[in-house]
Amino acid sequence: MIIHTSGPTQHNNLVPYPFTGTRAAPTAARPTVIWLTGLSAAGKSTIVDSLNPVLQARGLTTCILDGDSVRTGLCRDLSFSAEDREENVRRVAEVAALMVEAGLTVMVALISPTRAARKLARSIVGSARFVEVFVDVPLAVAEARDPKGLYRRARAGGIAGFTGIDSAYEPPEFPELHIRSDEVEVQRAVRMIDDWLLARG
């Protein structure tokens, strides 16, 4: 596995060693980052949780990077400011890039609200192995689901800058997959992603 930087750093004393032969051995399936974006409660984590055993049953080694989980560890120093949200996406993309380089199938469930941050993620991972899945749901449906009570708290003024309430969500323009989770059952959404991966080869 090669740890690579994706852009300029503030240091001028870093010279990455030109490692050779560190790529994972080729497997039957192409390692991929499946990046689910959408509003809170759109269904990203639920779909990933059901997709995981399907991919594992096909012999893939998988990993899940979930928004709430990374914010308790890797990104626990970050706030929900615009800059920190972008940094959150960037870090997750860097980790996903390392994992996919090691041969894993990576599922990312992250609101990742801005097109710019998702574009950055795609460039860090590499477009050829990045599958953007828009888990789309009307705000009213997400708010009615509210599995964590976050919309209720945000409406009551308890959470500033909550995506969809007082912070914008920019829908993807050209996602590889567009899933309307208010129209499609979880298992059907899983099939859509798996079929897409199988069709791509």
- Binding residue positions: 38-45
Note whether 93 binds ligand ADP by CB under 6 A.
Answer: no
Yes or no: say if 24 and 135 are a contact pair by the CB < 8 Å rule.
Answer: no
Which runs of E-coded beta strand occur in 31-176? Answer: 33-37, 62-66, 105-109, 130-136
Q: Which of 6, 112, 127, 167 is catalytic?
A: 112
Question: Does the protein bind ligand ADP through residue 41 (CB under 6 A)?
Answer: yes
Q: Which of residues 49-88 bind ligand ADP (CB under 6 A)?
A: none
Answer for which of 31, 35, 38, 65 binds ligand ADP (CB under 6 A) is: 38
CB of 41 within 8 A of CB of 145? yes
Decide if residue 108 touches ligand ADP (CB under 6 A): no
Element spanning 180, H or E: strand 177-180
**167 is a site residue for ligand ADP (CB under 6 A):** no
Does residue 197 contact residue 139 with C-beta atoms inside 8 Å? Answer: no
Minimum Å gap between C-beta 23 and ligand ADP is 31
Minimum gap (Å) between residue 70 Cβ and ligand ADP: 13
Toward ligand ADP, which CB reaches closer, 5 or 187? 187
Say how far apart CA 179 and CA 72 lie, in whole Å: 28
Query: What is the token pair recorded at 24?
Result: 């994972």
String of DSSP letters for 13-63: --------S-SPPP-SSPP-EEEEE-STTSSHHHHHHHHHHHHHHTT--EE
Q: Does 177 bind ligand ADP (CB under 6 A)?
A: no
- Decide: is 175 part of the binding site for ligand ADP (CB under 6 A): no
Q: Which is nearer to ligand ADP, 30 or 178 (CB)?
A: 178
Residue 112 is a catalytic residue: yes
Identity of the residue, 24 or 182, whose beta carbon is nearer to ligand ADP in the bound complex:
182
Kindly list the strands in the beta sheet with 33-37, ordered across the sheet, starting from the edge strand earlier in the chain.
62-66, 105-109, 33-37, 130-136, 177-180
Q: Is 40 in the site for ligand ADP (CB under 6 A)?
A: yes
Q: For ligand ADP, which residue of 109, 120, 125, 197 counts as binding (CB under 6 A)?
A: 109
Q: Which residues are catalytic?
A: 112
